[in-house]
Structure 1
């Protein structure tokens, strides 16, 4: 059986975490086929080595090449949503240089979340991880300015770099196989091979409600001068704990105010039309963009912690945050080990 290498390149906020968890735990058991993902199944260092951490290149790519060469497999998956931020031509160059024997057996897969959903989910994620702790309006204006909603232009770069080996799928539940990103991904990767899948759920990185986001924002603001890697680790771990203990009273998710929708719409409409024409061949992204108007709210939700939590709660959280901050100057490897499960 000819080997096939799958390069899963994101996007962010399209279920990458649950796919990587599935692969790392070996939840999928294909019939008569060996599915392999080296390491932890999140290969962010490959992308970082081509971006902001060039000191990791070429060692990380050489290490992955050795792992692939030394293992027995039929289908191997390399996955990180961080490839979204790397020029596709640079990724193709690294593949051709370090994975040359597999370069003609590669399939590159990206999922794309519709425009409004991407803005809301990314805003919530950035608040949680401390990347952006301003207002929702601040985030959207920055997101638009950086061209992050130019999905079609970025996809064209992947197609130019990898040709017909590149595939895009819309991250819309009604369009996913069985409404589940795991089954949709495995259908592409395994090409119809039967498999069993442990039912471990698909929402391990679900967005937090507004009161939790406001609290996370306050904490991340207090940590603003501390190492980014540690702030990200804290956000991931504390966010997971908050998610696992649902609010005792109903709380709304982050929603888009109508004024911000009106700012986003003209910037996203042409891109949605292009996605539908060039990638879907049917109405998909534009109807989603239009329908999102009905889910907007008249006024912005407050992200100020004092609007959601009592003064006493905020006092206790501030004291606790100051205690945690004393540890956040440690090396990221040490700090992360203490916060993660099993540390």
Structure 2
């Protein structure tokens, strides 16, 4: 039977994918301690049952299932990992852990990593652009976040500590403070402490996109986003493009790193300075990693705003090819894999006919009244729900 349960809570954009990949692949090993990771990727669907109302009916099924798997394991430590725990209420999670893991109460530890404000802002912006959910520049994104959902760490992490006490650990996602300068090694150290262990190196997970690639993806996404009901397709395509671009680096071009300019860096310092001081005082004193990171971001800022216009990064020929692919992807308003394959196989006109006789029929149903009382042959399904800011944050 498992002796200890460890929950990795994220945050988003703190190397969670790297930790999850290492756990799933068995890259963290010990000759004396066995680790059980009951997932092939992550536990985000499990965590979402605690924060997404429409998924709460799945809560009992999912937690019962994972609790049974952990109860059957002979490992020393079981790990649950999902960056989506970032938005879960700590008191609710405590209630759930007590209910489904009663034998492990008192032997549960939780860890979260926090990315400095400026770095998280830049990373969130790049992700929003990649997924087609934001089309403006970095400065305007900062302004929007301040108005809608500013980065506020201290209150949130204080609530975790209020509920879980010493069982909760917060670590700064700052390279020089991580064990070996690596997030996986740092997590392994938290997991196993002084117990001898080995971490096998693995390829980078979810690497950052260069400014050139981001400009190209933004241009592509802006054209696709101009069509109706494309949000879900944009997200799926953006995630796939990010992985493909990372694996196919342009050796003929020096990648430019996305960075804040001096004026923006100063504005971010002012906006988040108090939260950085409070978080350092509450969790990291006498060290000041969050304040140091804000100062460092200002010192590393570029003199003038970076352009994200595709014409400043791609040749006219390259832009033409992006436009051609955008047209291909938009050849059907309800773009999906089947229609895209049909387009590539028989051309846009054939795909259009296929959309009328195939995909459209699937949406409209067979001839005759539908179960909801709709008219004959008419698609009465509601339009696709657009992604909101909260939906987007779920993908970070």
**What TM-score, normalized to structure 2?**
0.78
Q: Which runs of 5+ in 2 are unaligned?
A: 341-396
Per-residue CA deviations over 1:20-77 (Å, capped at 9, x if unaligned) read 1001111122112110111224111122222235333333222222222233321111
Matched, 1:309 2:310: no
Matched, 1:277 2:281: yes
- Of 265, 273, 290, which residue of structure 1 is paired with 2:269? 265
Q: Which runs of 5+ in 1 are unaligned?
A: 336-343
Q: Residues of 2 paired with 1:62 and 1:228: CA distance?
A: 33
SS of residue matched to 1:169: strand
Report the alpha carbon displacement of residue 217 of structure 1 after superposing the two structures with TM: 1.4
Report the alpha carbon displacement of residue 91 of structure 1 after superposing the two structures with TM: 2.4
User: Aligned residue pairs: how many?
Assistant: 334
Q: Residues of 2 paired with 1:149 and 1:279: CA distance?
A: 17
Name the counterpart of 2:154: 152
SS of residue matched to 1:59: helix
Matched, 1:232 2:222: no
Q: Residues of 2 paired with 1:314 and 1:279: CA distance?
A: 48
Q: Note the 1:69-218 alignment, pairs <5 A.
A: 69-201=71-203, 203-218=204-219
Check whether the contact 2:2–2:70 (CA below 8 A) recurs between aligned residues: no
Name the counterpart of 2:297: 292
Check whether the contact 1:159–1:166 (CA below 8 A) recurs between aligned residues: yes
Report the alpha carbon displacement of residue 84 of structure 1 after superposing the two structures with TM: 1.4
Deviates more, 1:106-115 or 1:257-266: 257-266
Q: Note the 1:237-248 alignment, pairs <5 A.
A: 237-247=240-250, 248=252
Report the alpha carbon displacement of residue 221 of structure 1 after superposing the two structures with TM: 2.4
Report the alpha carbon displacement of residue 143 of structure 1 after superposing the two structures with TM: 2.4
Report the alpha carbon displacement of residue 288 of structure 1 after superposing the two structures with TM: 1.8
Name the counterpart of 1:14: 14
Q: Residues of 1 paired with 2:30 and 2:148: CA distance?
A: 41
Cα pair distance change 1:230/1:75, threshold 3 Å: farther
Check whether the contact 2:259–2:301 (CA below 8 A) recurs between aligned residues: yes
SS of residue matched to 1:51: coil
Q: Residues of 1 paired with 2:274 and 2:223: CA distance?
A: 39
Name the counterpart of 1:339: none
**What TM-score, normalized to structure 1?**
0.89
Q: Residues of 2 paired with 1:298 and 1:183: CA distance?
A: 35
Report the alpha carbon displacement of residue 156 of structure 1 after superposing the two structures with TM: 0.6
Q: Residues of 2 paired with 1:209 and 1:142: CA distance?
A: 23
Report the alpha carbon displacement of residue 147 of structure 1 after superposing the two structures with TM: 4.2
Check whether the contact 1:4–1:75 (CA below 8 A) recurs between aligned residues: yes
Name the counterpart of 1:25: 25
Q: Residues of 1 paired with 2:192 and 2:212: CA distance?
A: 41
Which has the higher Rg, Structure 1 or Structure 2? 2
Q: Residues of 2 paired with 1:17 and 1:67: CA distance?
A: 22
Name the counterpart of 1:221: 222
Cα pair distance change 1:63/1:146, threshold 3 Å: farther
Check whether the contact 1:230–1:328 (CA below 8 A) recurs between aligned residues: no
- Of 318, 323, 335, which residue of structure 2 is paired with 1:318? 323
Cα RMSD over matched residues? 2.5
